[in-house]
């Protein structure tokens, strides 16, 4: 969103270096790949990843140490694109014959990016990984978390460090194949959130609040600045032990039903929430399992959310922004958004 200014001022970051791996698919694991280290300046910055740049800038400004970023990415790729043959051979829906691979769109092909772009980098010493991916795995939410965790395990094995930090971004609101009010994207986000519990030393940032209404058909929303910053907050808090920097938005913890209302409790909201009125994004349902918008209010201590609707006398479940495109407006007092969730498994 501030690309021109960021590029213009990029020369101020004398201690930041970027290397960008070009798209170089390979059917067999490679030992080398193209790429070179580049200074941070207005001539080079336009080809840097915006998310990675703002991540690097936040680390650089906070820690006052040089920061080097290797960008190894391919827009639209699947988690299977960055996984090796031995693992992919155990996935029944992946055809690893050359014909099978080439029937996929170039950006969705399995194996090739790992072999040609990632594997060669394993000779470098890394501090950790940041990751922003998932849109092309929508529809495969049932296997995503496990495959995602298996990929991270493979990478850590390649780098001979089973505890390398791994921080990643939730996919943004967008109209997926089942439309604006469908939940295919929400189910993938749920799988991403759950993956934290099976990937040691990992963390996910939410992007639910970082899109505008007009971006519902834009798979690349403009705000990369805050995505990069939030990933940096995770690294600063969890890797660099700066615990005074908040790293997580409120996460659903538990639900209580009382007097026709649903009362929700959250982690990472110990100081309360960002607003008291006009809270948007919550829905509840009754026994018919049809979700409708709910009125959301804070309790007296500003620590819990109370949901109700005149149309539902006996609610049984609640959801928050659990649709393909449903940006919310609630955050904690540090401005980190409530992570989309559902209390049900309908």
| Spatial CA neighbour of 269 closest among 286, 251, 245 | 251
Q: For 8-21, what is the mean pLDDT?
A: 96
The DSSP code for 98 is: H
CB-hemisphere CA count at 13 Å for 29? 12
Q: Is the pLDDT of residue 20 over 80?
A: yes
Averaged confidence pLDDT in the chain: 96
Mean pLDDT of 228-244: 98
153 contacts: CB under 8 Å, gap ≥ 6 = none
Cβ-based neighbour number of residue 107 at 10 Å: 14
Closest residue by Cα to residue 53 from 5, 93, 118, 103: 5
What's the whole-model pTM score?
A: 0.96
Q: Look at residue 21 and tell me whether its pLDDT is greater than 90.
A: yes
Q: Which helix (H) or strand (E) holds 305?
A: strand 305-308
pLDDT bracket for residue 300 (50, 70, 90): confident
Lookup result for tokens 């403009």: 222
Cβ density class 38-49: b for 16+ within 10 Å, e for less: bebeeebbeebb
Q: What is the 3-state composition of the chain as percent helix, strand, coil, each rounded to the nearest 5?
A: 30, 20, 50
Average pLDDT over residues 2-11: 94
In degrees rounded to 5, what are phi and psi of residue 7?
A: -65, -45
Tell me, rounded to whole angstroms, the distance of Cα 249 from its chain centroid. Answer: 13
pLDDT at 272 over 90: yes
Going by pLDDT thresholds of 50, 70 and 90, the confidence category of residue 1 is: low
Mean pLDDT in residue range 230-241: 98
Averaged pLDDT for residues 103-128: 97
């Amino acid at each position: 969103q501030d690309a021109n200014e960021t590029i213009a001022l990029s020369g101020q970051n004398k201690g930041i270096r970027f290397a960008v791996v070009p798209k170089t698919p390979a059917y067999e694991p490679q030992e080398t790949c193209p790429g070179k280290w580049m200074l941070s300046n207005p001539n080079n910055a336009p080809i840097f990843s915006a998310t990675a740049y703002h991540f690097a800038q936040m680390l650089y400004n906070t820690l006052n140490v040089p920061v080097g970023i290797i960008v190894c990415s391919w827009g639209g790729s699947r988690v299977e694109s960055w996984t090796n043959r031995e693992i992919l051979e155990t996935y029944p829906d992946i055809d690893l014959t050359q014909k099978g691979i080439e029937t996929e769109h170039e950006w969705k092909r399995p194996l090739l990016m790992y072999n040609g772009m990632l594997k060669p980098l394993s000779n470098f010493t890394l501090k950790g990984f940041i990751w922003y991916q998932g849109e092309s795995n929508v529809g495969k939410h049932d296997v995503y978390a496990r495959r995602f965790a298996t990929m991270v395990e493979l990478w850590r094995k390649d780098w001979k460090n089973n505890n390398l930090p791994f921080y990643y971004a939730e996919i943004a609101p967008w109209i997926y194949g089942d439309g604006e009010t469908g939940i295919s994207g929400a189910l993938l986000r749920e799988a991403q959130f759950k993956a934290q519990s099976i990937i040691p030393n990992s963390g996910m940032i939410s992007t639910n609040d970082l899109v505008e209404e007009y971006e519902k058909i834009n798979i690349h929303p403009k705000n990369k600045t805050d995505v990069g910053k939030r990933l940096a907050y995770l690294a600063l808090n969890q890797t660099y032990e700066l615990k005074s920097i908040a790293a997580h938005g409120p996460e659903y913890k538990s639900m209580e039903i009382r007097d026709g209302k649903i009362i929700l409790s959250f982690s990472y909201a110990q100081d309360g929430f960002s607003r008291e009125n006009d809270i948007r994004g919550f829905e509840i349902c009754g026994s018919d399992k049809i979700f409708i918008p709910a009125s959301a209010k804070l309790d007296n201590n500003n620590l819990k959310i109370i949901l109700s609707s005149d149309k539902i006398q006996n609610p049984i479940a609640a959801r928050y922004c659990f649709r393909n495109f449903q940006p919310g407006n609630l955050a904690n007092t540090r401005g980190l958004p409530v992570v989309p969730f559902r209390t049900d498994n309908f």
